[in-house]
Structure 1
């Protein structure tokens, strides 16, 4: 059982790391921003700023919490000895950032015993920082968040995302084409962490995507759940790379069977 004191300490560290990394990314973005590498395909990029932000975050965590484990998108992976593991996406929405679009963020979660207990998502271009502590609600600054009230599926605004591998994108487009006639509309924001926070804040009724990594969803999943949303994957399964779904309870109950039927969980 994790203590309230430890949760408070982890939140403080996560907020500091996200704030400083967000400021670096916002203020330090070069006009001639370069692509440092590719991830899953030539259009899935890593910028020099992803790498710089993760280095900053890992340095803060090593200084403040030297015994903790770490899993980071840009390669950091250490087991730790304390029972706490940080899961870090230093720049979620890299392509948005590369193009100068504002929908990107820093996502930092802390796990204890394999369960997310703290989540922080900083969105510097929005001037917003979301956070949640397990059992303590979800917050945007000092405002407590709550997902939208129940709505029929045909009145639901959904978010989704698409992978960068061609075969996966093609199937995801087929699934979206089947979903669109059944809902109010679909948005594609480009940052899974922010989409999950938008569910928490009531800006979306639901969000689904296949192909997320632990660092994409660890913080946002906790924030959405603490705001009253239901999160999961395929029926009976938690959110995962196979499928992630977060929505107000009524929308979740209507949408999950459709995603299963439409094969949103496979390529």
Structure 2
């Protein structure tokens, strides 16, 4: 017998509506906790890949809030969270969560941080929400329905000539990888308008979606860094990918308008932006 979850479009629409509503409310609650509950003496609770790759107590509290809220409403779903949430689930839905994307910004009191929540259905991202409380903005997308910021439909910026393109990027917290990334920037910078380093991959991807950046690239992203933002960028009309013929991922993530994507992807590949 066919699976009605996969063959009934009304069921799919209702499911995606439910997932979006849950993601929006979970992101709103976590964003309020992080914005209003940040202690003045916030410190590092743990480190990850290096001594400068940090976790704060608020990262942990926000992930607990998100997984608890979602788990009460959809107890059979799976989870993958940056701060350790890992549940297999049995429903075919998995939530990919970064409770604070831009933790170092958050630690220092800089505003460029976000809550990123994506829902995958059988491995494909179908819902993405990125809440940036210090901007007062919430970005959202559902597969096939477009992308929005505070209810306003998003559209990527038309591709400029490469020499006039404003790029975003990010850097690893591993010293050897940072050195390789610096070499890519050294070569690429004279070819473009400028390069920005914002400190939050989720926000950078949303900035491509809303036209504040012409393109964004980075090596070393994890699923929770990019799942929601990449869907939002695609639903705003941008292309996303890695090396030629490959999807976004840890090796390389690139998001840009189609014409600019076609120019940048081979350049980044040739410069070795995908390896250390």
Aligned-residue offset at 1:113: 1.1
SS in 2 for 1:111: strand
Determine which of 230, 237, 241 is the counterpart of 2:239. 230
Match of 1:179 in 2: 188
TM normalised by structure 2 equals 0.96
| 1:136 and 2:136 correspond | no
Give deviations 1:167-200, integer Å, cap 9, x for gaps: 0000000001111011100000000000000000
Task: Please give the residue correspondences for 1:12-31 in structure 2 after superposition, counting only pairs within 5 Å.
Answer: 12-31=21-40
SS in 2 for 1:89: strand
Give deviations 1:142-172, integer Å, cap 9, x for gaps: 1000000121111100000000000000000
| 1:81 and 2:90 correspond | yes
Match of 1:266 in 2: 275
SS in 2 for 1:186: strand
The count of corresponding residues between Structure 1 and Structure 2 is 267
Match of 2:133 in 1: 124
Gaps of 5+ in 1: none
Determine which of 18, 21, 33 is the counterpart of 2:42. 33
Kindly report structure 1 stretches of 4+ aligned residues shifted beyond 2 Å.
none
Match of 2:210 in 1: 201
Root-mean-square deviation over aligned CA pairs = 0.6
Give deviations 1:59-109, integer Å, cap 9, x for gaps: 001101111000000000001010000000000000000000000000000
Following the alignment from structure 2 to structure 1, what is the Cα–Cα distance between the partners of residues 186 and 62? 36
TM normalised by structure 1 equals 0.99
Are the counterparts in 2 of residues 54 and 90 from structure 1 also a CA contact under 8 Å?
yes
Following the alignment from structure 2 to structure 1, what is the Cα–Cα distance between the partners of residues 111 and 98? 17
Aligned-residue offset at 1:141: 1.1
